[in-house]
Amino acid sequence: MNYFSRFLALPQRSVYLFGRDKSVWSLVGGNWLSKFIYFRETDKMADNLRKKVYVVGVGMTKFLKPGSTGEDYPELAKEAVTKALEDAKISYDLIQQACVGYVYGDSTCGQRALYEVGMSGIPIINVNNNCSTGSTALYIGKELVEGGLCDCVLALGFEKMAKGSLTSKFDDRTNPMDKHVLVLSNRHGFAAAPVAAQFFGSAGREHMEKYGTKPEHFAKIAYKNHKHSTKNPYSQFRDEYSLEQIKNSPVVYEPLTKLQCCPTSDGAAAAILASENFVRAHKLENQAVEILGMEMTTDVPSAFSENSSIKMIGFDMTKNAANKLFQKTGLKPTDVDVVELHDCFSTNELITYEALGLCDVGKGGELVDSGNNTYGGKYVINPSGGLISKGHPLGATGIAQCSELCWQLRNEAGPRQVPNAKLALQHNIGLGGAVVVSLYRLGFAGNQATSGSELKLPEEMKRLKSSKFFTKATSMLSYAEGIIDKRIKGSVKLRVADDNSDFVGMGCLKFENGKIDISFDPNAKADCIITLNDGVLLDILDKKSTFEKAFFSGKLQVKGNVGFLARFMSVKNALLAKL
């Protein structure tokens, strides 16, 4: 029955099977079955048979200026895949299929790249979909797992690019951008500037003409993304610029200046997708990120029929993909916490805000001015630095976005961690055209290490005068994880006795592999137990005392492994300094 159900979940295969074998068709009753297959083709029924898909491992290289290191694409790919396998804690021989994306390269570069990792004979599918190539590889891998054809698939993207702006490589055939160029020419004319910058710059001009958006709005987006990139070790550029520096950098095509345009890059990224059975069999629940939904769309007639550069660069296909995604998942754009979107140019980021539903059409400038696109606002958009600063190796970009969002949801993004990141949105677009829009969240929240931003203080502990210690400390776990020695392994429990009752509040910290789990379970076991009164802890928080003074004066008792306690004192001191 399961085998038959798989065919019904893939209607084109079912029709092909019964169309060829008329004896089988007659045996099962052709007319009845044709109606049944048609019924199964509806999205609602097919969705019920789709399996859940999880990202269980990610890895990427640092993005680099083309040709700056001498590394070729097989070496870049090997580094990314090796990191993803190590992250997933599995070996390459468990990969059943691979989907490999690149734009610039000869046929079967995917095979040549993966042969550096292993030659297991698996199917390797090479993908080229312009700037959305990486997420297209992800999409195909997701379909393979979701349809029950594979339990573990590798999605890999890489690029070894030429220096300078993108150019066409074939002049003896129809260019897939010919209709885009016609819209551009009709809208703002054709100039002596990089074609991609003209496409997206023209869309920015149109937005200014229609909605009163200012060049400064686009510059502010570049300012934000360059600032975000300073905390990303994988970013090609890690320099912070003032708004004036961005506005006054050389003009590429108005309103775009050089610092508002993404660079060409060399680099690679990889992601391992798995079924729920695979996740459980390999005990990967703690890190599995579920792909809640992933939609791919292509252009509709409005891209070329409305003489609109905004429509020409893919506004409607992004809008259509986002609408389908949110409708199918039952979620809303306002539910999203963190976003990685395709900011090939600052103008496209602002226009994409509106296409994704993060704000109303025409209100992108207001979203920028409100600060709701960065830390402290409603959304954190492109915490990685985006394409503008992180870089844009075409085949790798979509999978690098996925990697960043997985790290954010797993609370592993270090100094760029988005507080309380629970729902992540990805957008990757390629002119020509294709767009992939995806939603991610932790797949097994009950098994996930609890971050401070996700943790709620038990109501009874709020009676303690020192409860602010637990409230503030839990919100700073991401910072603590960024400085802790990953070799530290063990747990410590803090028992705080209320001065005015018999109540004792308890918090337990568990350290392992650089991660910190926290709980308020009074029955949790610990290697070391610290006991002190509420007033004593309050004095420590108010800088009137220290843990050391309280210990030597007998106001603080330590039981258990004192040696372990000493090992994480540096973390304690760093946290106290910020409380």
Q: Judge whether 290 and 53 are in contact, CB under 8 Å.
A: yes
Which listed residue (99, 109, 131, 359) is catalytic?
Answer: 131
CB burial readout 81-104, b (16+ within 10 A) else e: bebbbebbebebebbbbbbbbbbb
Whole-angstrom Cα distance, residue 433 to residue 422?
A: 30
Q: Judge whether 246 and 259 are in contact, CB under 8 Å.
A: yes
| Alpha-helical regions (H) of 147-233 | 178-188, 195-211, 215-229
CB neighbour list of residue 306: distance below 8 Å, 6 or more residues apart: none
Active site residue 261: no
Whole-angstrom Cα distance, residue 115 to residue 303?
A: 40
Q: Judge whether 43 and 49 are in contact, CB under 8 Å.
A: no
CB burial readout 379-417, b (16+ within 10 A) else e: bbbbbbbbbbbbbbbbbbbbbbbbbbbbbbbbbbbeebb
Q: Is 505 helix (H, G, I), strand (E, B) or coil?
A: strand
Residue 30: predicted pLDDT: 46
Q: Judge whether 66 and 163 are in contact, CB under 8 Å.
A: yes
> Using one digit for the tens of pLDDT, what is the confidence trace for 335-392?
999 999 999 999 999 999 999 999 999 999 999 999 999 999 999 999 999 999 999 9
CB neighbour list of residue 224: distance below 8 Å, 6 or more residues apart: 373, 374, 381, 382
CB burial readout 323-357, b (16+ within 10 A) else e: bbbbebeebebeebbbbbbbbbbbbbbbbbbbbbb
All residue ranges of the chain with pLDDT < 50 are: 1-41, 45, 448-454, 578-579
Q: Which helix (H) or strand (E) holds 125?
A: strand 124-127
> Using one digit for the tens of pLDDT, what is the confidence trace for 414-458?
999 999 899 999 999 999 999 999 999 999 875 544 444 445 667
Residue 446: predicted pLDDT: 52
Nearest Cα residue to 518 out of 459, 460, 455, 570: 455
CB neighbour list of residue 299: distance below 8 Å, 6 or more residues apart: 314, 316, 317, 433
CB neighbour list of residue 375: distance below 8 Å, 6 or more residues apart: 383, 418
CA-to-CA separations, 486 to 410, 476, 512, 571, in angstroms, rounded:
16, 17, 7, 12
